[in-house]
Amino acid sequence: MQATTHPDASAPTTNSMVAGAMRAARAAQASWAETSPAERTRILRRFHDILYRRRHEVAELITAESGKAYTDAFGVDVLVSLDSARWTAKAAPRFLRSRWQRVDGLMFLRKRVRLERRPLGVIGVISPWNYPFFLPAACVLPALACGNAVLLKPSEFTPRAGAMLGELLHGAGVPAGVLQVVQGDGMVGDAVVRSGVDKVIFTGSARVGRLIAAACAERMIGCSLELGGSDAAIVLADADLQHAADGIAWTRFANAGQTCVAPKRVFVEAGAYDAFIGALSASVTSIRVGDGRNPATEMGPMIHADAAALVRAQREDALARGARVIATAPVPGKPDVATGPSGPAPVEDGRGDAQVAPTVLVDVTDDMRVMREETFGPLLPVTRVADLDEAIARANATPFGLSASVWTRDRARALEAARRLEAGTVMFNDATSVVGMPSVPYGGVKASGMGMLHGVAGLEACVQTLPVVDDRFVGWRQPWWFRYGDRHLAHLEAFGQFAHAPSLMARLRGLPGIIGMLLHRNRNERKSP
């Protein structure tokens, strides 16, 4: 079966077609699993080379489909996907290689173990629109490298990016049945979850993630869920404030603020607050908003008008409750409540209603929507705090726990904060970039998800680990087998003394009993207790 049954690879898929794709994936997976890790690695390397050759074409497609700035499409979706392909091709063969190993513990000295890593079977990957090439690639590549087949459902808002990923992987040599791209909305995603897949990897909202977790639990299959976030950035008084301001401005407003792992609440120690606000305001007001196809554009429109309306509603709620706008950048050709006069050139890609000014809010309180909800757009509240203790308490006062960042020159204080923050990842003097590190495990806590992606943990998520245990002395009875009695118990006592007594002399006194236990092999002797 081909990657899609439609001439248009981005055309919607029916539920019956999902079922057919699942049957084809199941049939193709067995022979794919028999393919050597070396051959699967060669295919991933070919994918890397093809993607590199077509890198600008892919970035242009992503920009046209999502509206994001071309530099965001190229610098994240394309370049990070190249990193992910290269790392997976390098790491997967080593991860999948089986070796005999010693078993720890005196009782099992004669044993050895071999860890066999088997593919799970067919993995369903349901990916979002905000990074429509990189995020599915980072899930699909390790799944394929470990011998699984994949049903990939891209977001209905960015179907062509998902179709392009499938096209490039098939061009690299992934068999058509092994990777299939099924297109459609949440109904198609639900069909994938219930199609008989052996695991689901989902990136999206906490609400949908809970539904997927429940559906997976009914079938007793695993799921890896990367859900929403309301990441905290803590700026301490000793931080390099210009560095912090520039870094937070980029990590919050790149991709029009549509990044799960990004600062969405900033807590600034009182001694640095005024200076930080000044530096952040200067950085934000200089952001060039416009048509994402223009290479000079730094922030394009949001994905669609409804997403933009939600962010505007969060901003208006904050303003109605007493917050103030202290920095924005103008949206070309579009007057806005927060921006005042518009810039000179309107956006001409039909996404004017999705343009939202990058906006910094102050005088925010914890009852405002922008502090309670995930804000998935270019809106950033900044709050003054007395000290690190208050910053951590308020950072943790959220149902989310995807990541956090601490901006300081004092790494001891940063490490203290990292130990106390309720987050899947903590970064020092940077944010967001952890999601682009293919070798580093990535995931959230609390309502931000379950399971890990990327790194060796991401490979582990794509396999069943089978321990194979061997006994190197066939014919020698195990000392703990039946023949219970006084002598048997004395031998066990001697073993416990030799293995666990607190002093060396006490341990050595158990040695004769150990020797007796090893030599006592009379199969016919039975003692009454």
What per-residue confidence (pLDDT) applies to 403? 96
What per-residue confidence (pLDDT) applies to 284? 97
- Model confidence pLDDT, tens digit, residues 476-529: 777 778 888 888 888 888 888 888 899 998 888 888 887 777 766 444 444 444
- For the record, the structure tokens of 211 come out as 């539904």
Q: How far apart are CA 273 and CA 258, in angstroms?
A: 26
Residues whose CB falls within 8 Å of the CB of residue 113, separated by 6 or more in sequence, listed in order:
100, 101, 102, 103, 467, 468, 469, 470
State the amino acid at position 397 in one-letter form. Answer: A
Give the confidence band of 475 by pLDDT, cuts at 50, 70, 90. Answer: confident
- Model confidence pLDDT, tens digit, residues 417-449: 999 999 999 999 999 999 999 999 999 999 999
CA distances in angstroms from 241 to 236, 278, 362, listed in the order given = 9, 10, 17
Is pLDDT above 90 for 262?
yes
| Residues known to be catalytic | 226, 260
- Model confidence pLDDT, tens digit, residues 163-178: 999 999 999 999 999 9
What per-residue confidence (pLDDT) applies to 353? 86
Mean pLDDT confidence for 314-318:
96
Helix or strand (DSSP H, E) at 92: helix 79-96
Is pLDDT above 60 for 368?
yes
- Model confidence pLDDT, tens digit, residues 237-251: 999 999 999 999 999
What per-residue confidence (pLDDT) applies to 335? 55
- Model confidence pLDDT, tens digit, residues 398-423: 999 999 999 999 999 999 999 999 99
Note whether 222 and 451 are within 8 A (CB).
yes
Give the confidence band of 90 by pLDDT, cuts at 50, 70, 90. Answer: very high
- Model confidence pLDDT, tens digit, residues 128-137: 999 999 999 9
Note whether 133 and 62 are within 8 A (CB).
yes
Beta-sheet pairing, 359-362 with 463-471: unpaired
Phi-psi region of 52 (alpha: psi -120 to 50; beta: other; left: phi over 0): alpha
What per-residue confidence (pLDDT) applies to 514? 78
Q: How far apart are CA 279 and CA 297, in angstroms?
A: 21
What per-residue confidence (pLDDT) applies to 350? 55
468 phi/psi in degrees, rounded to 5: -110, 115
Mean pLDDT confidence for 299-326:
96
Question: Is the whole-model pTM more than 0.85?
Answer: yes
What per-residue confidence (pLDDT) applies to 526? 46
- Model confidence pLDDT, tens digit, residues 115-130: 999 999 999 999 999 9
Ranges 110-114, 380-384, 484-488, most confident: 380-384
Note whether 129 and 256 are within 8 A (CB).
no
Averaged confidence pLDDT in the chain? 91
